[in-house]
Amino acid sequence: MRLRYLALGDSYTIGEGVDERDRWPAQLVRGLRGDEFLLGDPHYIARTGWTCEELIAAIHAEQPSPHWDFVTVCAGVNDQYRGHSLADFREQYGRLLDMAITLAGHRNDRVMALSIPDWGVTRFATREGRDRQEVREQIDRFNETACRLCEARRIAFVDITPTSRAGGDDDDMLADDGLHPSGAMYARWVELALPVAHSLLAPEA
């Protein structure tokens, strides 16, 4: 029987601007299958533009069963983009992590979170006249908060933010909108996430 995988997030999880097979959860599944993990196709609860609070509302609306073998979380960029306070983000992201644990059958060792990538390096940010350093500092603060919340819950946290900054404005690293990552950038994220997923899904001794 294939393991059931639930991918929670926003545009980065649903893969705005790329083919479904190029989304990072889909690439992660292929990598795990290549290593003989029996993982099913991702089930997505994700949409472009969702904040953590909106993602939580969508989870409540769908009411998925709390029996997923693997749950990933990649959220928070829209909280930062919309100017939400760090305190509000802390509250909503914490709630989201708690829901993820519940959905994973109350197993925090089957939940993996990815950090927020830095969209400030992209040409979209330049077109908007955004201060790249300000965006960078805000995202770093949000990610520090997210990391601490994951540590408190013993949830694996994969820091893909430095990778998102390294050549993040290169043509081959961006979708056509100049904002969202391309499949090639998502592949770089998966290189970091794959060994972590390995350790979480490895059969128990």
Quote the tokens at residue 30: 């292929």
Burial annotation 143-180 (CB, 10 A radius, 16+ → b, else e): bebbeebbeebebbbbebbebbbeebeeeebbbeeebb
Each residue's pLDDT expressed in tens, for the chain with a length of 205 residues: 789 999 999 999 999 999 999 999 999 999 999 988 999 999 999 999 999 999 999 999 999 988 999 999 999 999 999 999 999 999 999 999 999 999 999 999 999 999 999 999 999 999 989 999 999 999 999 999 999 999 999 999 999 999 999 998 899 999 999 999 999 999 999 999 999 999 999 876 4
d(CA 100, CA 108): 8
Q: Which domains does the chain have, with CATH numbers?
A: 5-201 (3.40.50.1110)
pTM over 0.75: yes
First to last CA, the chain: 19
